[in-house]
């Protein structure tokens, strides 16, 4: 999850940590890679699979950035979707049974439609042809739950996980934001791939350029829950993602902010923002990042204690591996790539789906939360959302996590996972690479 770490190959960053004070392995800190390429994708980078994006309520400018090779249009470089077959998707045959699931609900809002790929069981899809190579790249590792039981933001050394805020945006005093950072390594312009609001009516602007939104605003509550805690934007700060996730229940709209620190005069200094209509399947524009390196929304893929305690998690999860182990491409439904790997076929692209093998036998002593997580990993899988610590699955900080869930889930090794081929969904009539919807 940290943008800087992704750009530097996560060589010297301190990473996300899970419960019980388990620190990130050296040199594999969580990274976000929001840096992207505002003026066009970099040399050596490529797209894999579906990419393009959301008309998110109102006129959205199309992707007019230069093509990757200077000649071919952007979509001609898709490598895992309908246009090419770099990773040799399974050939059409008997179509696997894949049907829509149900929409998780938070505060009365659906967390994406029931037919969104994140909410769709994928346990019947075939194994990806490059699965063995991908897992060899991941290497020997166990799952690590990047979340914790402390809810005290004033103690960042024990405040693990990504929290979220629930607000009524129609009656909220929206906060002014500034796209800047005291961190000298964050030197590009994030506005060209960010969303914001402007004016008394909070009109959504995308991209949030200075010309379009001279006074950008976001629905940040007075005392927001912030990943890593609330900190001022000062010189010499320790780099961190500092995400703010905001669920607006008046409009069932998600706002996610990257690298958020308090600035001067009540203004928040941020380095990226994205919004998602939770009732729609529209993906972000082609090549755009979000508060997440893959261009995904974070909240729909986040582990939540209440869900796990109910015994049923009905959506996919998000996880990270080392930045250098991610191919410089992305695959549907991801929208964005990082550049710390290579184009080698044995590296999984950003957005690759993995699942826990059906052959995995869950120990009988696993508790309710651990069992729910294991079943979700088998049924819905987990998407490679960012570069960072190896096999880290992100969740919220909550006192409601059980004492046993950490040791139980973290006993599951990478050897029990396999990559999933989404080709059968992409070949269905009606498939749209700019949408997260699974055609019937």
pLDDT at 94 (0 to 100):
56
What's the pLDDT score for residue 235? 83
Task: Please compute the mean of the pLDDT values over residues 336-350 and round it to a whole number.
Answer: 96
Judged against a pLDDT cut of 60, whether residue 384 lies above it is answered with yes
CB 179 within 8 A of CB 315: no
User: 118-148 pLDDT, tens per residue?
Assistant: 999 999 999 999 999 999 999 999 999 999 9
Give 108-129 as a DSSP string: TEESS-TTBGGGS--TTSPBPT
Q: Which residue has the tokens 């970099």?
A: 42
pLDDT given for residue 98 in this prediction? 83
Residue that wins the pLDDT comparison between 327 and 35? 327
pLDDT of amino acid 239: 74
Mean pLDDT, the chain, whole residue set:
83
Cβ neighbours of residue 118 closer than 8 Å, sequence gap 6 or more: 112, 300, 301, 315, 316, 333, 380, 383, 436
Question: What mean pLDDT is predicted for residues 383-401?
Answer: 98
Q: Which run of H or of E encompasses 165?
A: strand 165-167
Mean pLDDT of 162-179: 98
Q: What is the pLDDT of residues 203-221, one digit of tens each?
A: 999 999 999 999 999 999 9
Domain ranges of the chain: 1-152+283-440
Q: Quick one: pLDDT at residue 270?
A: 97
- Quick one: tokens of 316? 């996919």
The pLDDT of residue 300 is above 70: yes
Work out the pLDDT band at 276, boundaries 50, 70, 90.
very high
pLDDT at 269: 96
168: confidence class by pLDDT, cuts 50, 70, 90: very high
Name the more confident of 157 and 10.
Answer: 157
Tracing tokens 């950003």 back to the chain, one arrives at 350
Binned at pLDDT 50, 70 and 90, residue 379 comes out as very high
Return d(Cα 1, Cα 24) in angstroms, integer: 12
The three-class DSSP label of residue 284 is coil
Q: Is the model's pLDDT at 73 over the cut of 50?
A: no
Q: Specify the higher pLDDT residue, 380 or 21.
A: 380
pLDDT band at 63 (very low <50, low <70, confident <90, very high): very low
Reported as a pLDDT band with limits 50, 70 and 90, residue 201 is very high
Q: Does residue 85 have a pLDDT over 60?
A: no
Q: Can you tell me the distance from the alpha carbon of 249 to that of 219, in angstroms, rounded to the nearest whole number?
A: 11
What pLDDT band is residue 45 in, cutting at 50, 70 and 90? very low
- If you average pLDDT over residues 246-264, what whole number do you get? 97
pLDDT, residue 274, reads 98
The per-residue pLDDT for 179 is 97
User: Which whole number is the average pLDDT over 385-393?
Assistant: 97
- Would you call 244 helix, strand, or coil by DSSP? strand
143 versus 31: the higher-pLDDT residue is 143
CA quadruple 142, 48, 95, 99: dihedral positive or negative? positive
Percentage with pLDDT > 70 across the chain: 78
- pTM of the entire predicted model: 0.83
Nearest 10 degrees: Cα torsion 209, 327, 430, 109: -60
């Amino acid at each position: 999850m940290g943008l800087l770490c992704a750009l530097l190959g996560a060589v010297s960053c301190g990473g996300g940590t899970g419960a019980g004070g388990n620190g990130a392995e050296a040199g594999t800190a969580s990274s976000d890679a929001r840096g992207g390429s505002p003026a066009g994708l970099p040399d050596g980078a490529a797209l894999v699979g579906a990419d393009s994006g959301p008309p998110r309520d109102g006129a959205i400018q199309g992707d007019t950035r230069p093509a990757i090779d200077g000649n071919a249009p952007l979509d001609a470089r898709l490598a895992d979707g309908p246009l090419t077959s770099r990773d040799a998707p399974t050939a059409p045959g008997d179509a696997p049974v894949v049907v829509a699931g149900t929409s998780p609900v938070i505060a009365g809002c659906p967390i994406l439609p029931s037919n969104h790929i994140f909410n769709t069981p994928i346990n019947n899809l075939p194994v990806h042809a490059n699965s063995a190579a991908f897992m060899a790249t991941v290497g020997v590792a166990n799952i690590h739950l990047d979340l914790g039981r402390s809810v005290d933001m004033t103690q960042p050394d024990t405040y693990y996980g990504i929290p979220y805020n629930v607000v009524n945006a129609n009656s909220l005093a929206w906060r002014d934001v500034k796209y800047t950072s005291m961190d000298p390594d964050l030197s590009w312009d994030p506005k060209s791939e960010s969303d914001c609001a402007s004016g008394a009516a909070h009109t959504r602007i995308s991209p949030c350029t200075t010309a379009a939104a001279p006074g950008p605003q976001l629905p940040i509550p007075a005392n927001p829950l912030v990943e890593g805690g609330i900190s001022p934007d000062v010189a010499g700060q320790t780099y961190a993602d500092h995400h703010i996730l905001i669920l607006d229940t008046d409009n069932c709209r998600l706002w996610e902010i990257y690298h958020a620190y308090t600035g001067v005069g009540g203004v928040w200094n941020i380095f990226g923002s994205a919004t998602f209509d939770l009732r729609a399947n529209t993906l972000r524009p082609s090549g755009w990042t979000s508060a997440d390196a893959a261009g995904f929304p974070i909240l729909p893929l986040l582990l939540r204690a209440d869900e796990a305690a109910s015994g049923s998690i009905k959506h996919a999860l998000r996880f990270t591996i080392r930045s250098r182990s991610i191919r410089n491409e992305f695959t549907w439904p991801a929208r964005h790539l990082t550049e710390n790997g290579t184009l080698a076929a044995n590296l999984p692209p950003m957005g690759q789906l993995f699942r826990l093998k059906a052959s995995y036998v869950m120990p009988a002593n696993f508790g309710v939360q651990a069992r729910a997580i294991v079943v979700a990993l088998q049924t819905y899988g987990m998407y490679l959302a960012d570069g960072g610590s190896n096999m880290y699955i992100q969740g919220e900080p909550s006192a409601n996590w059980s004492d046993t869930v950490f040791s139980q889930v973290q006993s599951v090794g990478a050897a029990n996972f396999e990559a999933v081929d989404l080709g059968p969904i992409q070949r269905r009539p009606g498939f749209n690479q700019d949408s997260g919807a699974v055609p019937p």
